[in-house]
Structure 1
Amino acid sequence: MAQPFRSTSHGLIARLDPQERGLLRRLFEDVVTMLEGDHTTSEDPLEQLVGLSGDVEAPQDPALRRLLPEGSTDPERAEEFRRYTDRSLREEKVGALRRAAMAVEHDPVQLEGDGAVDFSRALNDVRLVLATRLHVESSDDARRIEELAASVDVNDVDNPETYMSVVYGFVSWLLNSLVEAMLLDLPGDHIKR
């Protein structure tokens, strides 16, 4: 059974059982696949060299649109913003997700500095994808999903929405514990428990 992240002299540590670590690894890999599978690169060598994307359209998948939002409500500005940022944003997200997948290979999961930031970004991206699939757009929606997840036996999940609700609750709980541990680990004058 999972134990939340806590701040220690050896970094931020969480204990997860093999199934939980395997689940997280698959979730991270699934989001990487989403980010890499819906990407086109420019044929122009100069654009490739400086990291620009060619003509980039907004993703059709609502979950990808949530991960890669519009930079402006003005269509021309949004298109220009996407052209200049799409490639690098995808690469940053994929890098964080892959590093997080490597971190869950170990028991306990031990994070320091940038590793904790990467892990929190990866968990947040997974959470955003799950929230989109579950149609979580308000605090009422989040409560509905929380109640659904709490009403079932984790070992007896009978439909995809219920399963995703349980996973969403687990990812949210783990992310919350990581953020709290990161806050406690801040140098200087910070939150004390």
Structure 2
Amino acid sequence: MTHDTAPTAVSYPVHVVAMGVSGCGKSTVGEALARRLGVPFEDGDDLHPPANVEKMRAGTPLDDDDRWPWLAAVGDWLAGTGEAGGVVACSALKRSYRDVLREHAPSAVFVHLHGDRDLIARRQAARGQHFMPPGLLESQFATLEPLAGDEPGVVLDVVLGVDELVDAAYAALTTDAATGGTPEETS
């Protein structure tokens, strides 16, 4: 099934963060989900300051001091979508990072794209020109804190195709499943 049909709007503002480690498909799924919801999309990578991009390009993982201003910018973008809502792709690897996003956009809901390290490593290596080198993937997995039970969102297995992931995310967002607490896992 494709999602190139007219978007179906949900009945409340949707502020979605497509999250996960580098190479999990945040941008691809996030953009497709935004089209399905009929809301704007932003790739959080485009909000990194140049110093962060250069640091990652050089193979150096970001530290929290690098991330705080970037996370604020991501949260500001999401909050700035107002009543229309929006979808942003952002790694949001730690709960403290997600807390910053929720400080800016309290209604944020997370779509955690989760998957096997080997699968994600193969996908990351295949994408070519991205500034995040495959060597930093291990640091991303080491940093990752899965969604906690009190965080609004859904966990989706990236073994699914893009259309299936969008369908599952959309279903979660248009029911109470993603907005009330315990993250659901869909595979």
- Higher RCO, Cα 8 Å, sep 6+: 2
**TM-score for both structures, normalised by structure 2:** 0.23
Structure with greater helix percent: 1
Higher Rg: 1
Structure with greater strand percent: 2
